[in-house]
Amino acid sequence: MLKLIIVREFLARVRNKSFVLMTFMSPILVFIMFGVIAYLTKINDSEIKHITVFDKTDILKNILFDTEQIQYRFLDDISLAEAKKQTAEDETTYGLIVKTEADAQVSFFSNESVSPVLISNIENKLKEYYQNQALMDLGIDPTTFYDNPENTQISIQNYTGKETSKTNSYVKMIFGGFAGYLIMMFIVIYGNMVMRSVIEEKTNRVIEIIISSVKPFDLMMGKILGTTMAGLLQFTIWIFIGFLLLQLFGNLNGAYPQTIADTQTSAFNLTVILKEILALPLGFMIVSFLLFFTGGYFLYSSIYAAIGAAVDNETDTQQFMLPILLPLILGVYIGFFTVIENPHGTVSTVFSMIPFTAPIVMLMRIPFGVPWWQWTISLLLLFGTFLVVVWFAGKIYRVGILMYGKKPSYRELIRWLKHQ
């Protein structure tokens, strides 16, 4: 009977028009969104900022040079009041930079909200200028500090002599963060799908017919397993379509070879990034993703199913949502602000063992390397907790599935748990 319920739930999901539409349209919409973002970024970068400079010290002339996005115009033989008046009335001027002998500080005047990136860039140039001046006052040539830049770069190695790079850490951060965030989104999306399915059948009184021939626990597990299979199918299709779109984008983009050539000169050149990606334990990461996704989804879906059985409509579920979402939000917070900084620290290790945060935190830790015993314990605790929670959720499901017309409270749910 459980098998029939799983098949029924799976087919009910995959035959749904919205499921089919979003399965094939979501990757395309994501690529379109990234394309729009890239296009808008390109437009923004192509806009040239015209900045006027009023400099009575000739310091700014030595540090401010035109770029593709910024063009400076230096004023001569004009008073400060006139310079302010001209730039304030000129709509094509982004702002006015002022440096006078009477004031040691540089001022920036603008009618608009000034870009913090631009201000930081100018501040860094000023800082470098004054540092160089201090060195020259001491009789030291500043260029000696830049003749051998490799002397200021740190070589990162483990004790076996294997060398890595900063790019390695960034790649691990991106992969771990993406996997953790993806699991959170899947748990929320498909957990809500299970809950809505239960509420719908309960509202339509279909459940009264089904429950006459099926045990409540089997019905709940069938919904969870059927929806899980539909979610994994959708995720697999997304990966396949995404891969095809990447290939198509790479073939159609005529500037792609030039892009590769350009990135060779940057700190994150494409060759290094691909090398670091291939160096990751990709097979182990995929297996871990499937296991922790399944365990985390089972754990939370059983709670979602119990909540769906306890209420009559989605509005009544709001009071129960916060306790479910808090561990997921905490897991993401721990992952992005603790795991990335110290993946093997006490906080990261502890929360990768706690079942309600482990699916997110552990996946963020795995790219950095996790001892096998921690991985095993975390997985066993996750599935063990699922068995305990699903037992309690089954008791709530069994009583709540036939309850109508009453908003349940936490006290009411505890009473249902004690029901034999």
Q: What is the set of domains in the chain, with CATH numbers? A: 47-153 (3.40.190.10), 167-246+255-417 (no CATH)
- DSSP symbol at 48: P
Amino acid letter, 267: A
How many Cβ atoms from other residues are within 10 Å of residue 94's Cβ? Answer: 22
**C-alpha distance across the termini of the chain, in Å:** 23
What distances in angstroms separate CA 202 from CA 6, 49, 318, 395, one per listed residue? 18, 61, 18, 16
Q: DSSP alpha helices (H): ranges in 115-215?
A: 116-137, 166-203, 206-210
CA 251, 253, 254, 260 torsion: positive or negative?
Answer: negative
Q: In DSSP terms, which residues pair with 157 in a beta bridge?
A: 163
Query: Do 389 and 302 contact (CB within 8 A), yes or no?
Result: yes
Query: Do 253 and 39 contact (CB within 8 A), yes or no?
Result: no
d(CA 51, CA 48): 9
Q: Do the bridges between strand 93-99 and strand 49-55 make them parallel or antiparallel, or are there none, so unpaired?
A: parallel
pLDDT computed for residue 378 by the predictor: 94
Only one residue has tokens 């909200």, namely 113
Amino acid letter, 418: K
Only one residue has tokens 């997110």, namely 360
The pLDDT-based confidence of 263 (bands split at 50, 70, 90) is very low
The pLDDT-based confidence of 419 (bands split at 50, 70, 90) is low
pLDDT in tens, 223-253: 888 888 887 788 788 878 877 876 776 555 5
Residue % of the chain over a pLDDT of 90: 9
- Residue 137, pLDDT > 70, answer yes
d(CA 153, CA 405): 69
d(CA 296, CA 383): 8
What distances in angstroms separate CA 157 from CA 160, 162, 272, one per listed residue? 8, 5, 16
What are phi and psi for residue 279, nearest 5 degrees? -80, -15
pLDDT in tens, 304-323: 888 887 777 777 777 788 88
Amino acid letter, 32: I
Greater confidence (156 vs 14) lies with 14
pLDDT computed for residue 384 by the predictor: 92
The pLDDT-based confidence of 395 (bands split at 50, 70, 90) is confident
2-6, 42-46, 53-57, 196-200, range with the lowest pLDDT: 42-46
Farthest-apart Cα atoms in the chain, separation: 95
- Residue 208, pLDDT > 80, answer no
pTM (whole model) above 0.75: no
- Reported residue count of the chain is 420
d(CA 281, CA 288): 10
Query: Do 83 and 71 contact (CB within 8 A), yes or no?
Result: no
d(CA 412, CA 353): 31
CA 265, 266, 270, 276 torsion: positive or negative?
Answer: positive
Q: DSSP alpha helices (H): ranges in 204-317?
A: 206-210, 216-252, 256-263, 270-279, 282-310
Q: Is 76 left (phi over 0), alpha (psi -120 to 50) or beta?
A: beta
What are phi and psi for residue 98, nearest 5 degrees? -125, 130
Q: In DSSP terms, which residues pair with 93 in a beta bridge?
A: 50
- Residue 196 CA from chain centroid, whole number: 26
Mean pLDDT of the chain: 79
Amino acid letter, 95: G
The SS3 of residue 31 is: helix
Q: Which two tokens stand for residue 290?
A: 């499937």
